[in-house]
Chains A and B, each alone.
Chain A
Amino acid sequence: MTFSLLHATDFADRLLYKIIPPLKAGMIVLADRYAYTAFARDATRGVDRHWLRELYSFAVKPDLALYFRVPIDVSVDRLMARRVKLKFYEAGMDLGWSTNPVESFRLFQGKVLEEYDRMVDEFGLEVVDARGSITQQQQLVRRLISPYVQEPPMEPTHDAA
């Protein structure tokens, strides 16, 4: 519970200082993770799903939410290839499911992915297959984003002057 509430506090702070002001100013805000991360991660830790959704009801609903889906094995392989040292909480070590960090990560993040999958329909997340190449993914992302971003009509002001 405290883990969940601390993250919610941090989120509220960022929402009010970093997200809402630029939105008011008409800017585009790119959020690397959003409330969905909390829904997935905290539910995996045994926090009530409904309570979480109500807790985060102060959050702004994104115009577009992208979910980069990747199978747990690919995720583990990528991290291992980069020799990333797994963080304690990221690997869900606090849950005591395994004393081996990699095994714990696999178990914990596997459950987290299941939670994300449950949210695809609930919140209308746009799924991006993250097994593909970066270029492929980026092309899809740009296609998905384009309806939301109206490019301002460019007037050839300089030439006309």
Chain B
Amino acid sequence: MMPLDASPDGANGEIQAGRYYGRGVPYLPINDYPGKLIAIEGTDGVGRTTQIQLLREWLEVKGYGVVETGWTRSPLMQPTIELAKSSNTLNKLTFVLLYATDFADRLEKEIIPALKAGFVVLSDRYIFTALARAGVRGVDGQWLRNLYGFAIAPHLVFYLKIDVEKLIGRVLESRGMDFWESGMDLKHGDDIYDSFRSYQNKLLREYASMAEEFHFRTLDARRSVDRIQDELRKQVAAFLEPSEKPIEPVLAR
């Protein structure tokens, strides 16, 4: 609608963990909240939810307060999103905006209060899912990054990376292919297998293209649940308990 100046919006500037990516929410200033935000990303069926459950238990045993949040789980928007998906009137723009509304609700009502109160927030998917899905559907990347400029940059982003062959096997063994996860709305044909394969391939490419920009910590999700979990715990522990590491530089002085 108007010429846009090249202000440091979206993720183009320096990303600071625990701060807003872009212009943020002006009426909710963030002042070094004690909580930590950890996002687990990855495509459909890659095993995120399993990993988050295990991570949660482990963190709680270690004495951390943990809050979980997940995509489209806001009480405000979930019914609307389900309803919209079941009708045929959604297009890519309204789809993106409904997701963003859901995220904004969870950010204001769950994530920010939990960070303020010192919780570890485990996010099952984060804005990268929205960016990937919208990217595949041809929505402008810069517009999306501005839109999600109100999101908080997580302290850690783990990306569970898998290849489409392995993913297909895993999804078929568990619950089968779903309409949306197969990108059937993109109408690339009637065959759900072909559609799933091509759609997920594109999604994986989108995720890969974001890895550097958003500082993903990539984990090989083709391995067993336990091995992935070990790796996760190692990295999370190193982040949450850095004081347990030897402090040589100080001694050297």
- Residues of chain A having any CB pair with chain B under 8 Å: 1-2, 5-6, 8-9, 12-13, 16-17, 35, 45-48, 50-51, 53-61, 122-123
Contacts and interface: CB of A to CB of B under 8 A. Distances in A.
8 contacts: A2-B77, A2-B101, A5-B104, A13-B94, A17-B89, A48-B26, A51-B149, A60-B1
A77 B102 CA distance: 38
B69 to A, nearest CB: 15
Contact of B2 (A5, A17, A51, A53): A53
Given A8-B97, A16-B91, A53 B1 contact: yes
A38 B211 CA distance: 34
A60 B9 CA distance: 22
Contact of A57 (B4, B7, B76): B4
B146 A12 contact: no
A55 B101 contact: no
Contacts, number: 76
A113 to B, nearest CB: 20
B100 A54 contact: no
Contact of A5 (B23, B89, B93, B100): B100
B105 interface: yes
Given A2-B76, A9-B94, A13-B94, A47 B101 contact: no
B180 interface: no
B82 to A, nearest CB: 15
8 shortest A-B CB distances, which residue pairs? Answer: A46-B27, A5-B101, A9-B97, A1-B104, A48-B23, A54-B146, A12-B93, A51-B23
Contacts of B93: 12, 16, 58
Contacts of B147: 54-55
The size bracket of the interface on B is 20 to 34
**Consensus secondary structure, chain A interface:** helix
A45 B108 CA distance: 15
Interface of B: 1-2, 4, 7, 9, 22-27, 76-77, 89, 91, 93-94, 97-98, 100-101, 104-105, 107-108, 143, 146-147, 149-150
A54 to B, nearest CB: 4
Given A47-B25, A54-B147, A122-B2, 7 more contacts: A2-B105, A9-B97, A46-B25, A46-B27, A54-B4, A54-B9, A57-B2
A8 B77 CA distance: 14
Given A9-B98, A46-B27, A61 B1 contact: yes
Contact of B143 (A5, A17, A35, A57): A57
A76 to B, nearest CB: 26
B107 A1 contact: yes
Contacts of B98: 9
